[in-house]
Amino acid sequence: MYSSNFFDMKKSFEETVAAQEKMIQGFETMMLVTDDNSNQTEREVVYTQDKLKLFHYKKTAKTQMKVPTLIVYALVNTPAMMDIQQDRSFIRNLLDGGMDLYLIEWGFPTPEDKYLTLEDYIDVYINDCVDFILEEHGIDQLNILGVCQGGTFSLMYSSLYPEKVKNLITMVTPVDFSTNDGLLFKWGKYLNVDRMVEAYGVIPGDFMNTGFLTLKPLTLMVNKYLDLIDDLDNPNSMSNFMTMEKWIFDSPGQAGTAFAQFINDMYHENKLIKGEAMVGDKKVDLKNVTMPVLNVFAERDHQVPNASSEPLAQYVGSKDVTTQKFPTGHIGLFVSGRSQREVAPLVVRWTKERSK
Protein backbone atom coordinates (compact mmCIF):
# COMPACT_ATOMS: atom_id res chain seq x y z
CA MET A 1 0.00 0.00 0.00
CA TYR A 2 1.10 3.55 -0.74
CA SER A 3 1.46 5.94 2.17
CA SER A 4 -0.53 9.16 2.39
CA ASN A 5 2.77 11.03 2.04
CA PHE A 6 3.16 9.59 -1.44
CA PHE A 7 -0.22 10.89 -2.52
CA ASP A 8 0.57 14.28 -0.98
CA MET A 9 3.79 14.40 -2.96
CA LYS A 10 2.03 13.21 -6.10
CA LYS A 11 -0.66 15.89 -5.70
CA SER A 12 1.94 18.56 -5.03
CA PHE A 13 3.93 17.50 -8.10
CA GLU A 14 0.83 17.58 -10.30
CA GLU A 15 -0.11 21.05 -9.02
CA THR A 16 3.43 22.29 -9.70
CA VAL A 17 3.37 20.91 -13.24
CA ALA A 18 -0.06 22.44 -13.85
CA ALA A 19 1.15 25.81 -12.58
CA GLN A 20 4.18 25.66 -14.84
CA GLU A 21 2.03 24.76 -17.83
CA LYS A 22 -0.27 27.68 -17.02
CA MET A 23 2.73 29.99 -16.78
CA ILE A 24 4.12 28.77 -20.14
CA GLN A 25 0.73 29.24 -21.80
CA GLY A 26 0.53 32.66 -20.21
CA PHE A 27 3.87 33.77 -21.57
CA GLU A 28 2.83 32.51 -25.01
CA THR A 29 -0.29 34.64 -24.67
CA MET A 30 1.83 37.60 -23.54
CA MET A 31 4.02 37.29 -26.63
CA LEU A 32 0.95 37.51 -28.86
CA VAL A 33 -0.51 40.61 -27.18
CA THR A 34 -0.07 43.60 -29.45
CA ASP A 35 -3.25 45.62 -29.04
CA ASP A 36 -3.34 48.78 -26.96
CA ASN A 37 -6.80 49.05 -25.45
CA SER A 38 -6.51 52.74 -24.58
CA ASN A 39 -8.04 55.69 -26.45
CA GLN A 40 -10.47 53.54 -28.42
CA THR A 41 -13.41 55.93 -28.08
CA GLU A 42 -13.89 57.81 -31.35
CA ARG A 43 -12.56 61.36 -31.28
CA GLU A 44 -10.91 64.00 -33.46
CA VAL A 45 -8.31 66.72 -32.97
CA VAL A 46 -10.09 70.07 -33.27
CA TYR A 47 -7.39 72.44 -32.03
CA THR A 48 -3.60 72.37 -31.58
CA GLN A 49 -1.10 74.70 -29.97
CA ASP A 50 2.58 73.82 -29.55
CA LYS A 51 2.59 70.24 -28.15
CA LEU A 52 -1.06 70.48 -26.99
CA LYS A 53 -3.91 68.71 -28.76
CA LEU A 54 -7.56 69.35 -28.00
CA PHE A 55 -9.80 66.36 -28.75
CA HIS A 56 -13.56 66.35 -29.25
CA TYR A 57 -15.35 63.02 -28.72
CA LYS A 58 -18.07 61.77 -31.00
CA LYS A 59 -21.41 61.65 -29.23
CA THR A 60 -22.79 58.20 -28.36
CA ALA A 61 -26.10 59.16 -26.72
CA LYS A 62 -29.29 60.13 -28.55
CA THR A 63 -29.61 63.32 -26.56
CA GLN A 64 -26.62 65.42 -25.55
CA MET A 65 -26.19 68.10 -22.89
CA LYS A 66 -26.18 71.59 -24.32
CA VAL A 67 -23.21 72.68 -22.18
CA PRO A 68 -19.94 70.97 -23.24
CA THR A 69 -17.38 69.73 -20.72
CA LEU A 70 -13.61 70.18 -20.98
CA ILE A 71 -11.46 67.51 -19.27
CA VAL A 72 -8.17 68.82 -17.88
CA TYR A 73 -5.74 66.06 -16.90
CA ALA A 74 -2.49 66.20 -14.93
CA LEU A 75 0.88 66.82 -16.58
CA VAL A 76 2.16 63.54 -15.11
CA ASN A 77 1.15 60.49 -17.19
CA THR A 78 -1.36 60.78 -20.02
CA PRO A 79 -5.18 60.83 -19.85
CA ALA A 80 -5.35 57.41 -21.56
CA MET A 81 -6.29 55.91 -18.17
CA MET A 82 -9.71 57.54 -18.49
CA ASP A 83 -10.33 55.62 -21.72
CA ILE A 84 -8.36 52.49 -20.90
CA GLN A 85 -10.71 49.99 -22.56
CA GLN A 86 -14.20 50.14 -24.00
CA ASP A 87 -15.90 47.83 -21.50
CA ARG A 88 -14.91 50.06 -18.58
CA SER A 89 -13.95 53.39 -20.16
CA PHE A 90 -14.81 56.31 -17.89
CA ILE A 91 -15.00 58.64 -20.88
CA ARG A 92 -17.29 56.28 -22.78
CA ASN A 93 -19.59 56.08 -19.76
CA LEU A 94 -19.80 59.89 -19.60
CA LEU A 95 -20.57 60.05 -23.32
CA ASP A 96 -23.25 57.39 -23.00
CA GLY A 97 -24.79 59.55 -20.27
CA GLY A 98 -25.15 62.43 -22.73
CA MET A 99 -22.10 64.56 -21.95
CA ASP A 100 -20.41 66.48 -24.77
CA LEU A 101 -16.69 65.97 -24.06
CA TYR A 102 -13.47 67.71 -24.99
CA LEU A 103 -10.09 66.65 -23.61
CA ILE A 104 -6.66 68.29 -23.47
CA GLU A 105 -3.62 66.13 -24.17
CA TRP A 106 -0.57 68.12 -23.10
CA GLY A 107 1.94 66.20 -25.19
CA PHE A 108 5.57 65.41 -24.36
CA PRO A 109 7.79 68.42 -23.59
CA THR A 110 11.17 68.71 -25.31
CA PRO A 111 14.16 70.89 -24.30
CA GLU A 112 12.72 74.06 -25.83
CA ASP A 113 9.76 73.77 -23.41
CA LYS A 114 11.83 73.99 -20.22
CA TYR A 115 10.79 77.59 -19.57
CA LEU A 116 7.04 76.96 -19.76
CA THR A 117 5.37 78.30 -16.63
CA LEU A 118 2.12 77.68 -14.78
CA GLU A 119 0.89 80.84 -16.49
CA ASP A 120 1.51 79.19 -19.87
CA TYR A 121 -0.45 76.09 -18.91
CA ILE A 122 -3.36 77.81 -17.14
CA ASP A 123 -3.68 81.33 -18.55
CA VAL A 124 -2.67 80.47 -22.10
CA TYR A 125 -3.25 76.81 -22.99
CA ILE A 126 -6.37 76.12 -20.90
CA ASN A 127 -7.81 79.57 -21.58
CA ASP A 128 -7.26 79.27 -25.33
CA CYS A 129 -8.94 75.85 -25.38
CA VAL A 130 -11.87 77.23 -23.40
CA ASP A 131 -12.23 80.18 -25.79
CA PHE A 132 -12.09 77.84 -28.79
CA ILE A 133 -14.88 75.63 -27.40
CA LEU A 134 -17.05 78.60 -26.42
CA GLU A 135 -16.70 80.08 -29.88
CA GLU A 136 -17.44 76.75 -31.58
CA HIS A 137 -20.68 76.40 -29.62
CA GLY A 138 -21.64 80.06 -29.54
CA ILE A 139 -21.96 80.06 -25.75
CA ASP A 140 -20.52 81.98 -22.80
CA GLN A 141 -19.80 79.15 -20.35
CA LEU A 142 -18.71 75.50 -20.29
CA ASN A 143 -18.14 72.82 -17.66
CA ILE A 144 -14.63 71.82 -16.58
CA LEU A 145 -13.68 68.40 -15.20
CA GLY A 146 -10.20 68.39 -13.67
CA VAL A 147 -8.31 65.25 -12.66
CA CYS A 148 -5.55 65.15 -10.02
CA GLN A 149 -3.09 67.99 -10.74
CA GLY A 150 -5.40 68.91 -13.62
CA GLY A 151 -8.06 69.51 -10.97
CA THR A 152 -5.74 71.93 -9.18
CA PHE A 153 -5.15 73.71 -12.49
CA SER A 154 -8.93 73.78 -13.07
CA LEU A 155 -9.53 75.34 -9.67
CA MET A 156 -6.93 78.01 -10.39
CA TYR A 157 -8.39 78.68 -13.83
CA SER A 158 -11.95 78.87 -12.46
CA SER A 159 -10.86 81.41 -9.86
CA LEU A 160 -9.36 83.61 -12.59
CA TYR A 161 -12.20 83.22 -15.12
CA PRO A 162 -15.36 82.34 -13.15
CA GLU A 163 -17.51 83.96 -15.84
CA LYS A 164 -16.46 81.24 -18.32
CA VAL A 165 -17.12 78.20 -16.09
CA LYS A 166 -20.68 77.04 -15.50
CA ASN A 167 -19.85 73.98 -13.38
CA LEU A 168 -16.59 72.61 -11.98
CA ILE A 169 -15.87 68.94 -11.28
CA THR A 170 -12.70 68.01 -9.41
CA MET A 171 -11.62 64.39 -9.14
CA VAL A 172 -8.83 63.10 -6.83
CA THR A 173 -7.63 66.71 -6.71
CA PRO A 174 -5.02 67.97 -4.23
CA VAL A 175 -6.05 71.24 -2.59
CA ASP A 176 -4.49 71.38 0.89
CA PHE A 177 -0.83 70.37 0.59
CA SER A 178 -0.05 70.68 4.31
CA THR A 179 -0.95 67.07 5.10
CA ASN A 180 1.74 64.47 5.73
CA ASP A 181 -0.62 61.61 4.87
CA GLY A 182 0.90 59.64 2.05
CA LEU A 183 4.57 59.38 1.13
CA LEU A 184 4.22 61.57 -1.94
CA PHE A 185 3.22 64.57 0.17
CA LYS A 186 6.07 63.96 2.62
CA TRP A 187 8.52 63.49 -0.26
CA GLY A 188 7.38 66.61 -2.13
CA LYS A 189 8.00 68.93 0.82
CA TYR A 190 11.72 68.18 0.88
CA LEU A 191 12.42 67.91 -2.83
CA ASN A 192 15.10 70.34 -4.02
CA VAL A 193 13.32 70.93 -7.28
CA ASP A 194 15.33 74.00 -8.28
CA ARG A 195 18.52 71.96 -8.33
CA MET A 196 16.78 69.32 -10.44
CA VAL A 197 15.55 71.86 -12.97
CA GLU A 198 19.02 73.38 -13.12
CA ALA A 199 20.43 69.94 -13.96
CA TYR A 200 17.74 68.69 -16.37
CA GLY A 201 15.77 71.60 -17.78
CA VAL A 202 12.94 69.22 -18.65
CA ILE A 203 12.55 66.62 -15.88
CA PRO A 204 12.69 63.22 -17.63
CA GLY A 205 9.66 60.95 -17.54
CA ASP A 206 11.90 58.11 -16.34
CA PHE A 207 12.78 60.15 -13.27
CA MET A 208 9.10 60.73 -12.57
CA ASN A 209 8.46 57.00 -12.83
CA THR A 210 11.35 56.16 -10.51
CA GLY A 211 10.38 58.80 -7.98
CA PHE A 212 6.64 58.21 -7.90
CA LEU A 213 6.64 54.44 -8.31
CA THR A 214 8.86 53.97 -5.26
CA LEU A 215 6.07 55.60 -3.28
CA LYS A 216 3.45 53.06 -4.29
CA PRO A 217 2.45 50.63 -1.58
CA LEU A 218 4.24 47.31 -1.89
CA THR A 219 0.94 45.46 -1.65
CA LEU A 220 -0.36 47.26 -4.75
CA MET A 221 2.66 46.22 -6.78
CA VAL A 222 2.64 42.62 -5.50
CA ASN A 223 -1.12 42.12 -5.90
CA LYS A 224 -0.95 43.47 -9.43
CA TYR A 225 1.38 40.66 -10.49
CA LEU A 226 -0.48 38.02 -8.48
CA ASP A 227 -3.63 38.99 -10.35
CA LEU A 228 -1.69 38.70 -13.59
CA ILE A 229 -0.60 35.12 -12.86
CA ASP A 230 -4.22 34.13 -12.26
CA ASP A 231 -5.19 35.55 -15.67
CA LEU A 232 -2.18 34.54 -17.75
CA ASP A 233 -4.23 32.26 -20.00
CA ASN A 234 -6.83 34.96 -20.69
CA PRO A 235 -5.84 37.08 -23.72
CA ASN A 236 -8.27 39.86 -22.79
CA SER A 237 -6.97 40.10 -19.22
CA MET A 238 -3.40 40.05 -20.47
CA SER A 239 -4.12 42.79 -22.99
CA ASN A 240 -5.79 44.87 -20.28
CA PHE A 241 -2.80 44.37 -17.98
CA MET A 242 -0.31 45.34 -20.67
CA THR A 243 -2.37 48.42 -21.54
CA MET A 244 -2.31 49.54 -17.89
CA GLU A 245 1.43 48.87 -17.65
CA LYS A 246 2.03 50.95 -20.76
CA TRP A 247 0.02 53.81 -19.30
CA ILE A 248 1.85 53.70 -15.95
CA PHE A 249 5.29 53.90 -17.54
CA ASP A 250 4.36 56.20 -20.42
CA SER A 251 5.21 59.36 -18.49
CA PRO A 252 5.85 62.68 -20.24
CA GLY A 253 8.76 64.79 -19.08
CA GLN A 254 7.96 67.88 -17.03
CA ALA A 255 8.70 71.41 -18.20
CA GLY A 256 11.20 72.44 -15.55
CA THR A 257 9.99 75.94 -14.69
CA ALA A 258 6.33 74.93 -14.27
CA PHE A 259 7.33 71.79 -12.34
CA ALA A 260 9.42 73.86 -9.92
CA GLN A 261 6.63 76.40 -9.49
CA PHE A 262 4.10 73.71 -8.66
CA ILE A 263 6.32 71.88 -6.17
CA ASN A 264 7.54 75.06 -4.47
CA ASP A 265 4.19 76.87 -4.39
CA MET A 266 2.04 73.90 -3.43
CA TYR A 267 4.07 71.24 -1.60
CA HIS A 268 6.56 73.60 0.02
CA GLU A 269 4.41 76.63 0.79
CA ASN A 270 0.77 75.49 0.40
CA LYS A 271 -0.07 78.77 -1.35
CA LEU A 272 -3.35 77.67 -2.94
CA ILE A 273 -5.45 77.63 0.22
CA LYS A 274 -3.54 80.59 1.68
CA GLY A 275 -4.65 82.77 -1.23
CA GLU A 276 -1.03 83.42 -2.18
CA ALA A 277 -0.74 81.42 -5.41
CA MET A 278 0.03 83.45 -8.52
CA VAL A 279 -0.57 82.78 -12.21
CA GLY A 280 1.68 85.32 -13.84
CA ASP A 281 0.71 88.61 -12.22
CA LYS A 282 -2.77 87.37 -11.23
CA LYS A 283 -3.50 86.20 -7.70
CA VAL A 284 -5.55 83.01 -7.32
CA ASP A 285 -8.43 83.49 -4.87
CA LEU A 286 -10.50 80.33 -4.42
CA LYS A 287 -13.37 82.45 -3.07
CA ASN A 288 -13.89 83.47 -6.72
CA VAL A 289 -14.90 79.86 -7.45
CA THR A 290 -18.61 80.58 -7.07
CA MET A 291 -20.01 78.16 -9.65
CA PRO A 292 -21.42 74.74 -8.53
CA VAL A 293 -18.62 72.32 -7.59
CA LEU A 294 -18.60 68.51 -7.48
CA ASN A 295 -15.61 67.21 -5.54
CA VAL A 296 -15.03 63.47 -5.98
CA PHE A 297 -12.21 61.58 -4.30
CA ALA A 298 -11.12 58.03 -3.46
CA GLU A 299 -11.11 56.66 0.07
CA ARG A 300 -8.04 54.46 -0.55
CA ASP A 301 -6.08 57.02 -2.55
CA HIS A 302 -2.36 56.67 -1.78
CA GLN A 303 -1.30 59.41 -4.19
CA VAL A 304 -3.67 62.23 -3.18
CA PRO A 305 -4.67 61.80 0.49
CA ASN A 306 -8.24 62.45 1.56
CA ALA A 307 -6.90 65.14 3.89
CA SER A 308 -5.79 67.08 0.82
CA SER A 309 -8.92 66.62 -1.34
CA GLU A 310 -11.83 66.56 1.09
CA PRO A 311 -11.59 70.11 2.56
CA LEU A 312 -12.20 71.86 -0.79
CA ALA A 313 -15.69 73.07 0.18
CA GLN A 314 -14.35 75.27 2.97
CA TYR A 315 -12.03 77.20 0.65
CA VAL A 316 -14.20 77.96 -2.40
CA GLY A 317 -16.85 80.66 -2.58
CA SER A 318 -19.57 78.42 -4.05
CA LYS A 319 -22.71 77.75 -2.05
CA ASP A 320 -23.40 74.64 -4.13
CA VAL A 321 -20.63 72.13 -3.33
CA THR A 322 -21.19 68.38 -3.48
CA THR A 323 -18.49 66.26 -1.83
CA GLN A 324 -18.48 62.53 -2.58
CA LYS A 325 -16.05 59.83 -1.47
CA PHE A 326 -15.88 56.36 -3.05
CA PRO A 327 -14.21 53.25 -1.56
CA THR A 328 -11.65 52.87 -4.36
CA GLY A 329 -8.05 53.81 -5.06
CA HIS A 330 -6.72 56.69 -7.16
CA ILE A 331 -6.90 54.76 -10.44
CA GLY A 332 -9.85 52.61 -9.40
CA LEU A 333 -12.04 55.71 -9.34
CA PHE A 334 -11.86 55.62 -13.15
CA VAL A 335 -11.38 51.97 -14.14
CA SER A 336 -13.17 49.85 -11.52
CA GLY A 337 -16.59 48.26 -11.70
CA ARG A 338 -17.73 50.78 -9.10
CA SER A 339 -16.61 53.55 -11.45
CA GLN A 340 -19.01 52.23 -14.10
CA ARG A 341 -21.88 51.63 -11.67
CA GLU A 342 -21.60 54.67 -9.41
CA VAL A 343 -18.89 57.24 -10.19
CA ALA A 344 -19.63 57.98 -13.85
CA PRO A 345 -23.42 58.03 -13.29
CA LEU A 346 -22.97 60.51 -10.42
CA VAL A 347 -20.88 62.83 -12.60
CA VAL A 348 -23.45 62.60 -15.41
CA ARG A 349 -26.44 63.14 -13.14
CA TRP A 350 -24.87 66.06 -11.24
CA THR A 351 -23.70 67.77 -14.44
CA LYS A 352 -27.02 67.28 -16.24
CA GLU A 353 -28.97 68.87 -13.37
CA ARG A 354 -26.78 71.98 -13.58
CA SER A 355 -26.26 72.26 -17.35
CA LYS A 356 -29.76 73.24 -18.42
Active site residues: 148
3 state SS for the chain: CCCHHHHHHHHHHHHHHHHHHHHHHHHHHHHHCCCCCCCCCCEEEEEEECCEEEEEECCCCCCCCCCCEEEECCCCCCHHHHHCCHHHCHHHHHHHCCCCEEEEECCCCCHHHCCCCHHHHHHHHHHHHHHHHHHHHCCCCEEEEEECHHHHHHHHHHHHCHHHEEEEEEECCCCCCCCCCCHHHHHHHCCCHHHHHHHHCEECHHHHHHHHHCCCCHHHHHHHHHHHHHCCCCHHHHHHHHHHHHHHHCCCCEEHHHHHHHHHHHHHCCHHHHCCCEECCEECCHHHCCCCEEEEEECCCCCCCHHHHHHHHHCCCCCCEEEEEECCCCCHHHHCHHHHHHHHHHHHHHHHHCCC
Q: At what angle do helices 205-213 and 235-249 cross, to 10 degrees?
A: 110
Which DSSP state fits 323? E
Radius of gyration over every alpha carbon of the chain, rounded to an integer in angstroms: 22
